[in-house]
């Protein structure tokens, strides 16, 4: 039985982590299925506008990784597990269509890391965020120590990582961790609304935005150089010709994604 429930709404994939009894904790099977979806299924889906990731039920988005799978790990096995998690989340972060987390409850540990790997985050007013790994004698392994700093800065990230404190949706919004806070039950709707808004823009340009922004955080890569290169690449697209013509002619552009 799959741990991911995938439904479709007007060419938007709604990916629901469906392990409600385990608070949607990420086990190996779930990570394998996320890898399969973002490396095979989604890239092969024609007309895909974007992806929404959420959790089953009203209580939890993803309440961490499945700790039962951590017991007895050797250092080498621990490194392998963490690397696998980072590889899957890099697939999400680098996906060339918008990926939006619709956070309906607890986003803790690996769940917070999953949300941070998405391009945008919509939080229910009931959402709670945290990296509680130190309570287990661990540190985040799926990118949490790195992405949390990017979103909220070193000072507050250090505090949350070392105290294991949780924060609510409003504080997460104030800190810059989430884009919007909405009433409970409206997070998926807001996420699809954002994707629809983005889908009205030039698809190739959106993919280049994702690549250029990610370049800022990539070691050994000059993000300004990537921006120059991708700007030039956009100039060769049909979308650019259409967008520029539509602007001059004062009409709505009809982008084809080419």
The domain limits of the chain are 4-199, 203-248
pLDDT band at 81 (very low <50, low <70, confident <90, very high): very high
202: exposed, middle or buried (Cβ count in 10 Å: 0-12, 13-18, 19+)? buried
- Provide the CATH number for the domain formed by 4-199 in this structure: 3.90.226.10
For the annotated catalytic residues, the residue numbers are 113, 133
pLDDT band at 68 (very low <50, low <70, confident <90, very high): confident
Q: What is the pLDDT of residues 47-63, one digit of tens each?
A: 999 999 999 999 999 99
Looking at residue 246, its pLDDT comes to 84
Residue 39 has pLDDT above 90, yes or no: yes
Please report the DSSP string for 180-244 in residue order. Answer: EEE-TT-HHHHHHHHHHHHHTS-HHHHHHHHHHHHHHTSTT--HHHHHHHHHHHHHTSHHHHHHH
Residue 29 has pLDDT above 90, yes or no: yes
**For residues 172 and 123, what is the distance between their CA atoms, to the nearest angstrom?**
9
Looking at residue 253, its pLDDT comes to 85
Residue 218 has pLDDT above 90, yes or no: no
**pLDDT top residue among 72 and 176:** 176
**pLDDT top residue among 213 and 1:** 213
**For residues 39 and 33, what is the distance between their CA atoms, to the nearest angstrom?**
10
Residue 140 has pLDDT above 90, yes or no: yes
Q: What is the pLDDT of residues 85-103, one digit of tens each?
A: 999 999 999 999 999 999 9
Looking at residue 207, its pLDDT comes to 95
């Amino acid at each position: 039985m799959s741990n991911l429930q995938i439904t479709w709404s007007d060419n938007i994939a709604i990916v629901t982590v469906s392990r409600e009894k385990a608070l949607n904790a990420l086990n190996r099977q779930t990570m394998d299925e996320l890898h399969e979806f973002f490396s095979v299924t989604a890239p092969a889906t024609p007309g895909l506008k974007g992806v929404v990731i959420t959790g089953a039920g009203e209580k939890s988005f993803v309440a961490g990784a499945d700790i039962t799978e951590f017991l007895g790990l050797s250092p080498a096995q621990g490194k392998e597990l963490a690397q696998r998690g980072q590889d899957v989340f890099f697939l999400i972060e680098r996906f060339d269509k918008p990926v939006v987390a619709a956070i309906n409850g607890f986003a803790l540990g690996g769940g917070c890391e999953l949300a941070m790997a998405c391009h945008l985050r919509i939080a229910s007013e009931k959402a709670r965020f945290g990296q509680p790994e130190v309570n287990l004698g661990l540190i985040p392994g799926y990118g949490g120590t790195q992405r949390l700093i990017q979103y909220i800065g070193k000072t507050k990230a250090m505090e949350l990582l070392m105290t294991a404190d949780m924060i609510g949706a409003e504080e997460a919004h104030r800190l810059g961790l989430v884009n919007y806070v909405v009433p409970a039950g409206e997070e998926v709707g807001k996420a699809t609304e954002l994707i629809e808004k983005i889908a009205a823009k030039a698809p190739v340009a959106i993919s280049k935005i994702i690549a250029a922004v990610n370049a800022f955080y990539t070691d050994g890569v000059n993000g300004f150089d990537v921006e120059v290169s991708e700007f030039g690449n956009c100039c060769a697209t049909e979308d650019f010709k259409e967008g520029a013509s539509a602007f001059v002619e004062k009409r709505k552009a009809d982008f084809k994604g080419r």
